[in-house]
Structure 1
C-alpha cells in the first residue's frame, strides 16, 4: 500500500496519481497544505513540497520525477507493452524531456500561478501569502497556456501520443497540469482541435476517473472538466 501526501489541485500530485492508477497500485491519499509548513510533513520532506510517496520498507520518495522513476524501476517491467517509460535510450530521453517541459516549464509559466492565485490563496492565511488573486499574474499565465496548448497540438498531430507511439509519463504529465487548470476553465480548447482530441483520449482512461470526481467547495468545475465529449 502506498501513501501519497498531496493536494487535490497540485498538478505534480495529479501526475503521480495518474501514474499509480495506470499501474493499478493501491493508494491512500493524505491531503497536505504545504503552505502551513506542518512539522511532521517537513520531517518526511524537508523541501516542503508535494507530492511525497511513502511505502513500507522505503525512505520517503519526494517529487514527481523521482516518484515516476521509482515506479518504473519497481513496476515497469510488469507492465509489458503498457510501460510508461519506454525501453530504448532515445525514447526515454524524449519522455524525460517532455516530463521536464510540463513539470517544470508549464508548471512555472501556467499551472502553478493559476492554481496558486485562484485556489491556494483561498485557504492561505495573510502571513502565508493569502489574499485576493493577482489579476496580472492570472492574465500572464492564461496567455502562456495558449502557446503550451499549441505545442501539445503540434505533438499530437505528428505522433500517436505526445512522446511517440504509446502512452507514457509525458502524456500523464501534460494531462495532469491541464486538468488542474481545466477545472478552472482556463484552457482555450477551441484554439487547438488536435490538443483537444488528444486530451479527450487521455481523460477517458480509467486512471482519470478519481480526479474528475473531486470538487472544490465554493469553486464549481468548468463545463469541460468532467465532460468526456467536450
Structure 2
C-alpha cells in the first residue's frame, strides 16, 4: 500500500490484480489511479498507448504498481492477449473492469450508421470480448470480479441518445445475466454513472447533438467519484456482492 493510505475497516484490502479497459482517460484513468493508491496492481489497456505510458509513470512515481498494454476492445484477440499478458505477469487476474465506451450521439433521423455501429462494437461487443477472455480465467481460479461501467442511460433514454442508451442497457442486461449465472467465487457489479466530466462527449459529431449535450453536461461529477464506487465494490468481503451502483450529480450540484 502507498504510504499515507489507510485501509478501510471491514474491507478486503489485499493487493488485487485489476485490469481496466478504456484506461487512457476519464473514468478508466481515474479508476487506475485510485486503485493503485489503495495498493492494488493495475493493468491498464487502451488504444492510445502514449496516454497509458503517462498514466503508468504517474502511478509508479507515487509508489504504485502498474502495467500498460495496447488494447482494442473491438478485436477479441487483442482483449484475449491483454488478459493473458496480465495473468502471465502476476499469476492471476482478480478484477476485470469493462470501461471502454464511445458516445457519438445523433438523432435517429440522421441515419448515422457508422456511429451506431461504433457504439455497438465498443460498448456491447467490447464487453462480450472481455467476458470471453476473462471468464475462463476466473473459472480456473474459482474466483474473480467483473465490473461493467454502464451508464444512467441504461435506465433512461434521452433525445439523440437512443442507440447509446440501447448499448448501455445491453451492457447492463449482459452483466445482470452474468450475475444470475455466476457460480461460487464470481462477483458481478454494474456501475451506472450519470453525467461525468470526461472526454466521452468529444466523440459526438452531430452538431445538434453536441450542442444539446453541452447544456446537459453543464453539471457533472468527477471521474474520481466513479472510481471510488468501483473501489467500494471490489473491496467488500467475500460474502458480499455489490450488484449495482448508480452514481450521479446530487440535487445540490444541480441547484
- Could you say whether these structures have the same fold, taking a TM-score greater than 0.5 normalized by the shorter chain as the test? no
| TM-score, normalised by the number of residues in structure 1 | 0.36
* Structure having the larger proportion of residues in helix: 1
Q: Which has the higher strand share?
A: 2
Q: Give the TM-score, by structure 2 length.
A: 0.34
